[in-house]
Structure 1
């Protein structure tokens, strides 16, 4: 198979046929290079990581589950370095091409998986989401993507980053395939549909005006399925406050995860990745304690807003994908703004699906739906119902 969008990692191409006659027979899938595939190094987006760790002898749970269901594995995909990125650019492996907007980044860290699905190189692909790594590339590439309820998908065989926020999800170009894969990984068919809809007015106000306007037809579609919407503030403390809490907790865990490797092997890494790890090592205890309390407040807020049968919608990202190759000073403010719309995932563990269907200046932007913990199947049913509306 050719790779016109640089989605797949170089080296041995993992190709494994699925079990004959399974529920996903006829579908192909790719996996982010954080998931173990037996006999293939898990690279993690950093060549020194692969050298320092043994080649796995078993498939990750999610990989094995898709194979057992009949899907065919076609390769491992590029990720931002050790999953510490949100835009999709990798100094070792390059930047996958966003086929929906080739001059723009694909979003990360599940960049290769999103790019492969968007380009039609596979039907679905596994990725991960700690601070936005499923949701952001879904929005930027114009495809479906899910951050499941934290702990819902078994992460055995998945390279960790920040375990209290790490999740495994999947991409698809259409809602039917998205739901078909979800039924296997969740062990639950889509449904039931929610009956109450909330609009996160603080999130819509935070997004670029062009994005908020472009998403309004999708919000009206949601209302046609669920019923009239009610406006609510998602983060009363402030979106930037929730983002600060996530930026205090996630980097500390990432430093704890990668510290033994760094101290033992002194690996090569991009400056931005090294800077983030150093920052995580220096977060004071007082900041960590405050952030842990803010996480409890955020969880309480979403429990209050999202009783059974209720969903909340918001822009997945505040803007469409930025241009490729921007200088570092231009990128950090963008990352900070993205975190303001993604922090609730890592803080609360609630499921979130990014639904395609809008563009700004020809580039995709996604609308997200969030439900209470454990309502993943209901969100998938809603995504299907929306796609059915012309």
Structure 2
């Protein structure tokens, strides 16, 4: 089978038929190469990882859930190396194609899954989100994507990175498919619709001015569904302060996750990945303690802002996808700015859905909605309502 988007892991394609007659029968899906598929190596975006770990004997829990629901698995997709990336570039397997903006990166680390869905190679695809890896590709590729409430979905059979932030999500091109998959994975139907809308004025001010202008019609559409929006500051301490806290916590956990493998096998790794892991190994206890307190403040802030029936909207990313092949010095400030708009996910564990519908010079950019913990189904209902009045 051809792979025009370079979305799938090189080599023989993992293919499994779903259970006949299930609620997802007729749908096809792909899985990021962090999920176990029985009899298939879990590569994690690094060729030495697969060599150092046994071939799984069971499917990851969410992979099995979709098979049981009738969806057909058509392959495993490329990921940023050991999921430590946000742009979608992999030194071993290359950069998947962003079909919505072919001269730009697809976003990572769920790059292959987003690329496969955006190119129409499958109906939906599983990815993960620790620091933005579902939300960023959704924005860059013009897809529906979700970072569920932390702990909502079973992570059994998933290659970990930073367990206190790791989540499983899925992509779709249309809200109906997005909701069908969500009903199966979440175990509940979409709804109810929220009744109050907050607009994260600090996040909109932080994004490029063109982003706010492009997203304004989508915000107005949200107001038609939920009611007039009220401006609020999401992060009173500062978006960069929340980002610093996440950058202090997540890399430490990543280092703890991969340290035994690195020390025992001395794997080949890209410089940017090694640099991040080394940084995580050197975060002092005082910084970790401060970051843990900031995480509690962030959680308290969103509990205050998001009582039942209230959602918050903000740009998913501060700009559309960067061009492919830019140098590290150019990309690093971009990565830092992306983290400023994504840190709340890992810090608070709140669910977030990125909605497509806006472009800047032809490149997509998403609008995100955030709800209180456990309100995933309500956010999906908003996605359906937004598409219905498109």
Once the two structures are superposed, what CA deviation does each residue of 1:21-46 show, in whole Å capped at 9, x if it has no partner? Answer: 00000000000000000000000000
Shift of 1:312: 0.1
Pairing 1:212–2:212 present = yes
Shift of 1:161: 0.0
Once the two structures are superposed, what CA deviation does each residue of 1:192-221 show, in whole Å capped at 9, x if it has no partner? Answer: 000000000000000000001000000000
Shift of 1:99: 0.3
User: What residue is the counterpart of 1:111 in the other structure?
Assistant: 111
CA distance in 2, matches of 1:198, 1:119: 33
Tell me, what secondary structure is at the counterpart of 1:215?
Answer: helix
Once the two structures are superposed, what CA deviation does each residue of 1:296-335 show, in whole Å capped at 9, x if it has no partner? Answer: 0000000000000000000000000000000110011000
User: What residue is the counterpart of 1:44 in the other structure?
Assistant: 44
Once the two structures are superposed, what CA deviation does each residue of 1:118-166 show, in whole Å capped at 9, x if it has no partner? Answer: 0000000000000000000000000000000000010000000000000
CA distance in 1, matches of 2:263, 2:178: 41
CA distance in 2, matches of 1:184, 1:344: 26
Matches within 5 A, 1:112-131: 112-131=112-131
User: What residue is the counterpart of 2:242 in the other structure?
Assistant: 242
How many residue pairs get aligned? The number is 390
Structure 1 segments, 4+ long, off by >3 Å, are none
CA distance in 2, matches of 1:154, 1:101: 33
User: What residue is the counterpart of 1:175 in the other structure?
Assistant: 175
Shift of 1:340: 0.1
Once the two structures are superposed, what CA deviation does each residue of 1:158-184 show, in whole Å capped at 9, x if it has no partner? Answer: 000000000000000000000000000
Tell me, what secondary structure is at the counterpart of 2:333?
Answer: helix
Once the two structures are superposed, what CA deviation does each residue of 1:46-93 show, in whole Å capped at 9, x if it has no partner? Answer: 000000000000000000000000000000000000000000000000
CA distance in 2, matches of 1:97, 1:77: 12
CA distance in 2, matches of 1:355, 1:29: 20
Matches within 5 A, 1:1-390: 1-390=1-390
CA distance in 2, matches of 1:387, 1:42: 36
CA distance in 1, matches of 2:384, 2:2: 31
TM-score (norm: length of structure 2)? 1.00
CA distance in 2, matches of 1:181, 1:126: 10
Shift of 1:361: 1.0
Shift of 1:12: 2.2
Shift of 1:2: 1.2
CA distance in 2, matches of 1:193, 1:142: 23
Contact 1:110 1:137 in 2 (8 A): yes
What are structure 2's unaligned runs of at least 5 residues? none
Contact 1:12 1:40 in 2 (8 A): no
CA distance in 2, matches of 1:332, 1:374: 33
CA distance in 2, matches of 1:102, 1:44: 24
Tell me, what secondary structure is at the counterpart of 2:74?
Answer: strand
Shift of 1:11: 1.6
TM-score (norm: length of structure 1)? 1.00
Once the two structures are superposed, what CA deviation does each residue of 1:251-283 show, in whole Å capped at 9, x if it has no partner? Answer: 000000000000000000000000000000000
CA distance in 1, matches of 2:99, 2:59: 29
Contact 1:105 1:324 in 2 (8 A): yes
CA distance in 1, matches of 2:232, 2:21: 46
CA distance in 1, matches of 2:81, 2:147: 20
